[in-house]
């Protein structure tokens, strides 16, 4: 896929009057794209618009697996997806560019909707809402991977890279992460350990910064390093963490 950031984003909501009188499946791709651009402009000027052209473009890309249709979608929605990426709170601490996450979001979306799942998305709004979730998830997953991959037992590290494909899987991932942090918190033995884990793996702070902020809990920076090593060894050997994954 090419990165085309100059394209105008299309409408993220459903419209009012589908083109039932036109057989969109027979429309030439260039004509279809021109209609998509026109309807998007109508949306952004708060006028009635027709989402059926864009929906047909998605159908060709996801059901017929048309590379040309997919490339048009990527160009047409690039700025919109980039906007969603940058609005995700974790983006500022992710260490990645917006282009990286836009590409990752489209890839996740493409893999998550094979031809036989397209019927689960009956409207343009449903498709774009799912694309928006993909954009948020790739950013959050990347930030969280940096946050707690080091805490997991080695055989569980790849858990962070599992792909999201269904809404129920997304909910399961959220529950699993909540359980993970609850379990970790239960294994910590002091306020110093809890501050260190929260500061290191959720806030991304370095040992020197942690000591500067909470010198009341640590004798020196060396103690912060030593305590962090001890915590990692304990958690990586934990049968409870291994059992969770």
Cα 99 to Cα 79: distance, rounded to the nearest angstrom = 10
Q: Evaluate whether 241 touches 154 at the Cβ level (below 8 Å).
A: no
- pLDDT tens for 154-192 read 444 343 333 434 443 444 444 456 677 788 888 899 999
Residues of the chain with pLDDT under 50: 1-16, 18, 154-175
The token pair that represents 15 in the structure block: 């419209």
Between CA 139 and CA 176, with CA 87 as vertex, the angle to 5 degrees is: 40
The whole-number pLDDT of residue 141 equals 79
The token pair that represents 135 in the structure block: 């954009």
Q: Evaluate whether 184 touches 235 at the Cβ level (below 8 Å).
A: yes
The whole-number pLDDT of residue 197 equals 86
The whole-number pLDDT of residue 115 equals 95
What's the pTM value of the predicted model, to 2 decimals? 0.56
């Amino acid at each position: 896929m090419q990165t085309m950031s100059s394209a105008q984003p299309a409408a993220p909501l459903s419209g009012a009057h589908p083109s039932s009188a036109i057989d969109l499946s027979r429309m030439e791709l260039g004509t279809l794209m021109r209609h998509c651009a026109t309807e998007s402009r109508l949306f952004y000027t708060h006028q009635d618009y027709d989402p059926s052209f864009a929906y047909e473009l998605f159908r060709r890309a996801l059901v017929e697996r048309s590379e040309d249709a997919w490339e048009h979608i990527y160009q047409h929605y690039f700025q919109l997806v980039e906007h969603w990426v940058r609005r995700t709170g974790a983006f500022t601490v992710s260490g990645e560019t917006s282009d990286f996450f836009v590409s990752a979001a489209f890839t996740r979306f493409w893999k998550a909707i094979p031809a036989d799942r397209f019927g689960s998305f009956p409207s343009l709004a449903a498709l774009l809402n799912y694309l928006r979730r993909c954009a948020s998830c790739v950013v959050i997953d990347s930030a969280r991977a940096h946050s707690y991959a080091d805490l997991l037992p080695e055989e569980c590290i790849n858990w962070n890279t599992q792909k999201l494909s269904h809404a129920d899987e997304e909910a399961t991932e959220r529950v699993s992460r909540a359980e993970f942090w609850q379990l970790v918190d239960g294994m910590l033995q002091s306020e110093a350990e809890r501050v260190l884990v929260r500061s290191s793996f959720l806030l991304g702070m370095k040992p020197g910064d942690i000591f500067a902020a909470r010198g009341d809990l640590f004798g020196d920076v060396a103690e912060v390093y030593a305590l962090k090593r001890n915590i990692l060894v304990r958690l990586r050997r934990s049968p409870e963490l291994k059992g969770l994954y």
